[in-house]
Amino acid sequence: MMSSSKKIIIIGASSGIGKALAIQYARRGHLVAITGRRIELLEEIKTSFPSNIIVKSLDVTANENIQHIESLVQELGGLDLLIYNAGFGEPSATLEKSIDERTIKTNVVGFAEIVRYGFEYFAKQGYGQIAGTSSIASVRGNSLAPAYSASKAFMSVYLEGLYIRSKKMKLNIAITDIQPGFVRTKMARGNKQFWVVSLEKATRQIFEAIEAKRFRVYISKRWRLIAILMKIVPLFIYRRIA
């Protein structure tokens, strides 16, 4: 069983939700390894919790993800919770190739590689938890960001597959699929934003969902209704707003 003090890795924690979650866990006395491409931002977070935070520069689109994760696990002295919060997505009216490639490398390739490692690690260990920040955009396609919505759908379906696999194999591995709507962070782009929630509220709800080991959580909770409506609305109607 896990001890009261957890060993946690957060992929993508230099700002926004990842940073806020790191602070939440460090403040409660957990040992947290945080990663991101901008090491100076990670170091800034560490100054507030020098005994509880470990930092490592990590670009999930590169080719050394697992070596970095293994190094962090060794430095932490184990692993109880892996949070994949790295993400990329931008509107692309011209279907710009560079945007699609970076989106897929971050939200699909890097995600799958790191989360797969986490699942295998926890299966050998006998317990653990994986949480991934997907998006309400995973529910259906979007004309201005098709790669983003598709990549987030990949994340959610992959996490669902791991959840089912864990149950079938009777593994003590909890899976949490986090699906935010609009959260007031630098990642939030576009003019058609509504029901925007503060970073503080989003972080609180995400933290509570992870701690409760819920499988899927919508941020904020009322986005569950939007997800249901998006799934059932006919394509000839949906295409006019997407």
The catalytic residue positions are: 148
- Cα torsion for 95, 183, 57, 97, to the nearest 10°? 0
Of residues 145, 144, 175, 14, the one with CA closest to residue 86 = 14
**Under 8 Å between Cβ of 176 and 131:** yes
3-state DSSP call for residue 99? Answer: helix
Q: At what angle do helices 97-104 and 146-168 cross, to 10 degrees?
A: 10
Q: Which residues contact 23 (CB under 8 A, 6 or more apart)?
A: 45, 48, 49
**Under 8 Å between Cβ of 78 and 126:** no
Residues linked to residue 122 through DSSP beta bridges, in sequence order: none
**Under 8 Å between Cβ of 149 and 141:** yes
Strands 173-180 and 216-219: parallel
> Can you list the positions of beta strands (E) in the chain?
7-11, 31-36, 53-57, 81-84, 128-133, 173-180, 216-219
3-state DSSP call for residue 119? Answer: helix
